Amino acid sequence: MNRVGGAQPTILDVAARAGVSKSAVSRVLSGTGRFSDETRERVERAAAELGYVANAMARGLVSGRTHTIGMLVRDASSMLYTALHAVMEQRASELGYRVVTTTGVGRVEDEKSALAALVSMRVDGLVVCSGLLPAADIAEFAPRIATVVAGRPELHPALSSVYCDEVDGGHQIADAVVDAGHRDVVVLSVPRADAITQHARSVAMTARIRMRGANAVDIDASFVRPAADIAADVVEMMRESGATAVMCPTDRMMLDLCDALDDLGVDIPSDVSVTGFDGVYPLASDWIGFSTLQQPVERIGREAIDLVIGRIDDPSRTVEHRSLRGTVLPGRTLRRR
């Protein structure tokens, strides 16, 4: 086992030291069954003296429960997932569960193996937070493990989900842009294969802008494209078609774009307005002032945990899909014109 210098004490060590059977130790430490006060006292002292920590593998193996929820995250460095993580951890701990997180390091294959790692740990429930992994790969385990998809619209019949209504969000932020008087708008458009949610947003934004009678131009914003290239395209559209606003599918991309536009000598918002999507701290802070659509991260995280634990407790529960509305954060990067 994981011994650097000494071995981990086992229940037998505790039993020997306490002068009782391992059954007694098990009962005391797990608080089940009957035992005398004296037994309890002796066991607790022995356990403390030895620094005993029960082996969760052995325990889980026999009990069939780990009291653990596995969280699969696309990208550990994304602030959105970070925020979700914090909320879920909090809520899960209130309900007596731990959250363990794994991530892929980018590719779909990695994510599959990260998911398999969670499954192999026999977590009681699974919360998948990734816009990358195909639903089929997730659904494979759904019949065996309570599974909830969080943060992306997923209407797969075997999977429950909680997510921000991306279409509504795209419409809301597009409305804000048009309402601010912009008639020629650039929309950074992410291919579906890069990220399902971001793709949906771009599409919704473009559609709404046109529906409102303004002009929308899509610019390719595949993940492989450098921000500098995208910024150059934006500048070109400003010159050619008189674009006065740029809409980004995430705050992160917005930040990269702002950086790149800055390098090109373009000032925001006096030269061009820019909007984002996500609205997570710290970019959502007033001082930074991103104009963006704020996802209801708190609710998404909390309800994802509640849903998954609900299904753990009662596997017969039906699949459920909760679409939550986001809100526009005015910010200072979108200027009226």
Partner DNA sequence: TTGAAAGCGATACCAC
Partner DNA sequence: GTGGTATCGCTTTCAA
Contact positions with DNA (CB under 7 A) in 15-34? 20-27, 29-30, 32-34
The answer to whether residues 95 and 311 touch, using CB atoms and an 8 Å cutoff, is no
The continuous run of DSSP H or E covering 187 comes out as: strand 184-189
Distance CA 247, CA 237 (A): 13
The correct pick among 5, 6, 16, 55 for binding DNA (CB under 7 A) is 55
Instruction: For CA atoms 303, 305, 307, 309, give the dihedral sign.
Output: negative
Footprint of DNA on residues 280-309 (CB under 7 A)?
A: none
Q: What angle do CA 249, 132, 191 make, to 5 degrees?
A: 45
Q: Which of the listed partners (DNA, a second copy, none) does 168 bind, with a CB threshold of 5 to 8 Å by partner kind?
A: none
Token pair of 246 as six digits? 């740029």
Distance CA 213, CA 241 (A): 15
If binding is defined by CB under 8 A, does position 193 make contact with a second copy?
no
Q: Can you tell me whether residue 247 is helix, strand or coil?
A: strand
Stretch that binds a second copy, among 16-24, 34-42, 71-79, 148-156 (CB under 8 A): 71-79
Stretch that binds a second copy, among 20-28, 162-170, 230-238, 257-265 (CB under 8 A): 257-265
Distance CA 47, CA 26 (A): 11
User: How would you classify residue 259: left for phi > 0, otherwise alpha for psi between -120 and 50, otherwise beta?
Assistant: alpha
Stretch that binds a second copy, among 195-203, 206-214, 249-257, 322-330 (CB under 8 A): 249-257
Q: Which of the listed partners (a second copy, DNA, none) does 76 bind, with a CB threshold of 5 to 8 Å by partner kind?
A: a second copy
CA distance from start to end of the chain: 66
Q: Which of the listed partners (a second copy, DNA, none) does 241 bind, with a CB threshold of 5 to 8 Å by partner kind?
A: none
For a second copy, the closer of residues 38 and 314 by Cβ is: 314
The CA distances from residue 93 to 89, 145, 294, 296, in Å, are 6, 19, 26, 20
Phi, psi of 303 (to 5 degrees): -70, -30
If binding is defined by CB under 8 A, does position 96 make contact with a second copy?
no
Footprint of a second copy on residues 38-67 (CB under 8 A)?
A: 51, 53-61, 64-66
Distance CA 67, CA 64 (A): 10
Q: Which of the listed partners (a second copy, DNA, none) does 134 bind, with a CB threshold of 5 to 8 Å by partner kind?
A: none
Q: Which of the listed partners (a second copy, DNA, none) does 201 bind, with a CB threshold of 5 to 8 Å by partner kind?
A: none
Stretch that binds DNA, among 3-11, 88-96, 97-105, 327-335 (CB under 7 A): 3-11
Q: Which of the listed partners (a second copy, DNA, none) does 140 bind, with a CB threshold of 5 to 8 Å by partner kind?
A: a second copy
Binding site for DNA (CB under 7 A): 1, 7-8, 10-12, 20-27, 29-30, 32-36, 38-39, 52, 54-55, 58-59, 61-63
